[in-house]
Chains A and B, each alone.
Chain A
Amino acid sequence: MATRTNALRLIGIVLTAYALLVATHKGEFWPFSIYPMFSQAGNPWTRAVVREMPPDTKAASLDWSAVPFREVPGEPYPLSPKNINQNDVANYVSKTETWTADRVHGLRSLFTKNRSLSAPLYVFRVRGELTGDSVAVAATPVMLIAPDSTYLNPSPQARTAGRTVADPADEE
């Protein structure tokens, strides 16, 4: 009986710490969480996709405007075999409000830290939204990562998530 009381008291202490930490840290203080994943259903989402461009691609000759997702240029650049987490790339392109030198370096280093590039990589922000009973998906170029330099979308609005851009979209 005393053991059960002690055990319950310990649960109460951990529960109090749990509640205080998640309440003061936006619902997350690992391993404590309120588990908010998938709670914002139906809202537009933003992800990222990376395409490998021909080696002779010049940033100045690229069209930096948004395209329907199925029309993204270049070849697939699968991240998993390179041991790059796609969520990390998506976080850079969806949560960056200002592309400071640190942010640019951080995203570039995901692809270049301890490895070299043979061709430029074109990084797209992909946005999906519900339109009636289907999902519209559009991709906006954010950055071209060439072997020797990095180029941002010349439009400050287009390269930053959350800005309103007249994206053409695929219906999924």
Chain B
Amino acid sequence: MIKIEGVKISGISVCVPKNFVNNEDLTENKKLISSIGVKQRHIASENQHTMDLCVIAAEKLIKEMDIEKNSIDAVIFVSQTPEYQLPATACIIQDILKLKNNIVAYDVNLGCSGYTHGLLLASSLVKSGLVSVLLLAGETPSKIVDNNDSSSNLLFGDAGSATIITQKVDSNISFVLGNDGSGFESIILDNDNNKKTSNKSNFLTMNGAEVFTFTLKRIPQLIKDTLTYSKLNKDDVNYCIFHQANLLMLKTLAKSIDINFDKFLISIDKYGNTSSASIPLTICHNREKIVKNPEKILMAGFGVGLSWSTAVSDLKDTVILPITEA
């Protein structure tokens, strides 16, 4: 349990590709569509990458919040689809956004748990004295999914997000994090330089049953721990904003942790599983609901690694922008 005092999520923005596909146009398997809960997904064009979506989200956030660029002391890019293997995409984004040179800029290679992990890193930097940190979490899984793989080709969508974390007295964010690397092959994209694994595919591969079981084993206890450490009762939580893994997973988790599914905010039906972008995307997609009840928001990310993390925060006075399509 990590509680960081004096920090706040000040603004959130998300950009998705304007191109989208309807899953019903791709398969007649209605049982699959209803189980994963994905009706449509936004898919990046050939020349549109994760960095591009995150940059658009960031530019909109900076403009709408009238953020002084010199106040941004760090940029963190969380993604598994970076622009290059090297250099870090955050370094490129610093230049594209015309941010100052005396800035912290680095990438984090995480997926489903990436947003909540990223929030911890950003909050820690703010707590250490930085004025504000720009957290960019995004993914373009369409670039790494095998279109012939029925376990993943209808599930994933593309999106990029930007979140600004700043100092604020009397505001805090609580975190619980964990990891179990013994399950690393459950969701994997190998590369040519590392052939130690049994996986020899050039595409993302996922053992859905293993991931499902991991989630059922780990996440209910994670939520219980988070509520205990945050001194919250499950009835106190206004909204659960969980990584949008798939609808069956979310419904099963809701029952397992005994929280009414009405408290679970959803975006997977319109955007699919967008990996590290799924939590901010779900926030922006449900902004009108959150504005009415912005306190005690429980966020949870879990998956590739296998890793997991939660963040409990108020989103009161947080600027939540409508989703941009580009």
Tell whether A pairs with B.
no
Chain B residues within CB distance 8 Å of chain A: none
